[in-house]
Homo-oligomer: A and B are copies of this chain.
Amino acid sequence: MALIVGMLSVVRPLLCTWAGLPDAAFWWKERATCCKVRARRFGSQRQLVVVEPSSTAGVAVLKLKNLPVNSFSLEFLTELIINLEKLENDKTFRGIIITSDCPKAFSAGVDLREICGKNPAHYTEYWKVLQDLWLRLYLSNLVLISAINGPCAAGGCLIPLTSDYRILADNPKCLIGLNETRLGISAPFWFKDPLVNIIGHRASEHALQLGLLFPPAEALQVGIVDKVVPKDQVQSTALSVMTQWLAIPDHARQLTKNMIRKPTADLLVKHRDTDIQNFVSFISRDSIQKSLQMYLAKLKQNKD
């Protein structure tokens, strides 16, 4: 945590991208200042995460806007964590709807550029921030609803898997799943654990080994999402589900959520350092780096 907190205190001025919300506290002013700073430094106001109030009191909408596919760059992850931290500390809010503002995807997960051609210290920092996002989401005191309005593969499932409720757009392109094995890698255990909690052991074993990406109807059947609705109703359905959740007194709901989720979260907390070491040693291998470089070159070629 020390490392992350240290890092955050450095990047905070660069990353603050909070959108205006009424009724907000101290950090609203801080935001205005830091955005000016950012604008001064980068000559732009590109926000990777946009937070807006919803029509329902107490509910924020957090829009992922790291074009084109919400890949988890370190900058994006950090901005996401800062925004979640602020919402968590802001007594105005009781729930967050997380959705994508990129037309092409909900999230594509890990940004390969962060784990290719860098040094072990960078990989360590990156993986730690990813774990930190997981922990923040999985144990959040707020009600988190994923409004999944685009494809959501591999690491991109991090947010849905750690939410309280998942709504998927009914569109054949909106595939969801942990397809890591198809890419030649294995999902970390802290992706497996919430998946097992959500869809059960057998379905997880099957889905993870085969790297299954579920289209909406199958996603609903296996239980990796709770509801499938037409794409233009994802947002309104999220708000209506949120209303049901907010009918419950926060304190009792939070205690209950924590009681159920803490054993799973404790596994990550306990094995966090080993997991980082495993990841860094795996990703630093020459063979892996070469594959990643080739893959990235190919992706770039396809773009050009």
Contacts and interface: CB of A to CB of B under 8 A. Distances in A.
Interface of A: 164-165, 180-187, 189, 192, 196-202, 204-206, 208-211, 223, 226, 244-245, 248-249, 251-253, 255-257, 259-261
A256 B197 contact: no
B186 A197 contact: no
A252 B226 CA distance: 29
Contacts of A261: 205
A204 B184 CA distance: 34
A181 B211 contact: no
A58 B257 CA distance: 42
Integer count of this chain's copies in the complex = 3
Contact of A210 (B181, B208, B244): B244
Contacts of A184: 249, 251-252
A97 to B, nearest CB: 16
A226 B203 CA distance: 10
A252 B210 contact: no
Contact of A186 (B181, B204, B205, B252): B252
A248 B192 CA distance: 18
6 contacts: A164-B209, A192-B259, A197-B205, A204-B260, A209-B245, A211-B248
A259 B226 CA distance: 26
A259 B202 contact: no
A189 B260 CA distance: 8
B208 A197 contact: no
B181 A202 contact: no
Contact of A208 (B200, B211, B256): B256
A44 to B, nearest CB: 39
Nearest to A199: B202
